[in-house]
Each structure stands twice: as C-alpha cells, then as structure tokens.
Amino acid sequence: MRGLGSPVEVRVEPGQRDASPSGGRLLGIDFGGTKMAVGVADLQGRLLARERVPTYAEKGAVQALDRALDLAATLVGQTGPGGPLLAAGVASPGVVHSDGVDLAPNVPGWDRLRLADAVRDRLGVTLVPVANDLNAAALAELRLGALRDADPGLVVGLGTGVAAAVTVGGRVVAGQHGAAGEIGYAPTGGFPGTMLESVFSGRALDQLAGSLGIPGGAAGLGAHAATPGPARDALLARVDELARHLATCCLLLDPRRVVLVGGVAGSDLIRGLLADRLAEVLPHPPELVLSGFADDAALLGAVTMAREAVPTYQ
C-alpha cells in the first residue's frame, strides 16, 4: 500500500474525542467518482472523526483504494482509545460482488477491485458489509433522515453520475441483481442513442458547460441558466429528460417523498425545475426535498451498515 505522502488533518467532532465506548468502534468508507470520505464512529453511530479526499479517478482504482485505506488506518489510530474496530461499512458506486464491481465506469479499474477483502486485509476487521453508494445513502435517510416517516421513499443521486434507490417498508430494495435504481443506464428520448447518465449528471453538465464556453462546470452552468439564454435552454432540455425518468419512477412506486442527494442536487434552480415538472405530470406529486446530510449521506449509511452488522447491535 502507498502512503498518503503528507500528514492527514483529522477532523474530530467537537466533544467527541473520548466519547467512543470501550466496547469498540465502527468505520465507514464512501467511495465516489470525485471524492472519497472516511469516518470513524462509536457504537451508537456518532462520528468521532471524518475526512474527505479527492478520488483522482483519472489515475485509476488502485491508488484511490490505497489512499482511502491508508486514511482509514490513520483516522482509527488518531481518534484515541475506544476499543477494537468491530465493523467497517463500505459504500461504492456500481453493483458490488465478492470478485468485483459492475456498472462503475467512472474510475478505471474499479470493476476489478475486491473491496471487502481489501478492507479486511488492510485493517484487520472481519465484518465488512458493502453496498452501492446510493443504497447506503438511502439507508441513512431511512434510519436518520428524511425517510424516517415516509414510505415508500425514493432517493435520487445527482452527483458524478445519476441513480435512484427505492425504500419500501423500512428497507432498501436492492433488486435481484443488486441493480435496482440504476436509471443512469436508461435510454433517452430527447437525446437519441444516449443513456440518461450521459445527458444529466455532474460529469455531463460539466461537459455541457465546457461546450458552451462557461467556466466553473455544472455550478457555472447553473449560474448562467438563472437567466434566459443558451445556457438556460440547454439545461432545461436536460432537466426535462431527467424529469421524464423520475416521473416514471414515481408513477411506478408512488413514493411519499423523494430525497435528492449529491452535488448537483444542491442547485436551487435544478430542484425547482424538477419539482415543477413532476407537479405538472403526476396525479399525486411526492414531496421533493434535499437531503439534510449535505455530502455525508453515503458515509453515514456506511457507518449504519457497520453498526447493524455488529451482532450486539439489536
């Protein structure tokens, strides 16, 4: 494993440095196409420390995994005494299997990783539940966030990619192959020959901004689209495409609430446009809300997975 190369600034939550019970600690790792987050928590799931680092996707999967695990080891070592590491939850793009990862094209080589084995080998922990990152975010919303009182629920991730997660009866529906909600692969109508993720996602909007000569990627595009003009027209066409797919999801599931997560979801303009489109076409429009966890939904979901994997959790 390669080292981090420089000291890690550990962010310890106020008043939490010595709060971990003697029974042990939990670890959460959220792998993303742009950023990776690592957090150490006590057995109640309260974060003791967390840190976020770039993925550097263009450099490949191995270096990203190495740096995340080195960071995890550093955080575990720097959060003070608190008992052994009992479980580590891992959130990853795609559909995770024991011998690789499907449907995770944004980081070259990610499909060849054995995430659970790598965590066990590097950190010496036995319990390593692994899930799709948006399913992990949906679990956090179920246990801690906007879906605690909403059933059914739908979580929509608008980040580097685009995907959805379905919750029914207090559980995340993974599907037969673990690929439920992979709407990014849906064919588009307004953009023939393409799939939704290539039309509406953080990466797609970054590319659109570049083609229009707008600096700042998706955020810059959103700022320009606040007023009439080419940027607004181009963004509206893509929001309409996303809205068509979300409307179909809502017609099928009839969710009480739709929770948006991810960097693109933070745009007030995009959320407003989506809400308007859904209200126009759905007989029973759901509540459309922004996750209250900012960028931490999948990380908190990973910690929750670790907590629920510990036999004494119940």
Q: Please, are residues 20 and 79 in contact by the beta-carbon 8 Å criterion?
A: yes
- Given a cut of 70, the residues of the chain with pLDDT beneath it are 1-22, 82, 313-314
Stated pTM of the model: 0.89
DSSP 8-state assignment for residue 285: P
Q: Pairing mode, if any, of strands 11-12 and 47-54?
A: antiparallel
Neighbouring CB atoms inside 10 A of 35's CB total 17
Note the pLDDT of residue 49: 94
Note the pLDDT tens digit of each residue in 114-146: 999 999 999 999 999 999 999 999 999 999 999
Q: DSSP 3-state assignment of 87?
A: strand
Note the pLDDT of residue 82: 66
Lookup: tokens for 7: 């000291």
Note the pLDDT tens digit of each residue in 171-197: 999 999 999 999 999 999 889 999 999
Neighbouring CB atoms inside 10 A of 254's CB total 13
DSSP string, 237-275: HHHHHHHHHHHHHHHHH--SEEEEESTGGG-HHHHHHHH
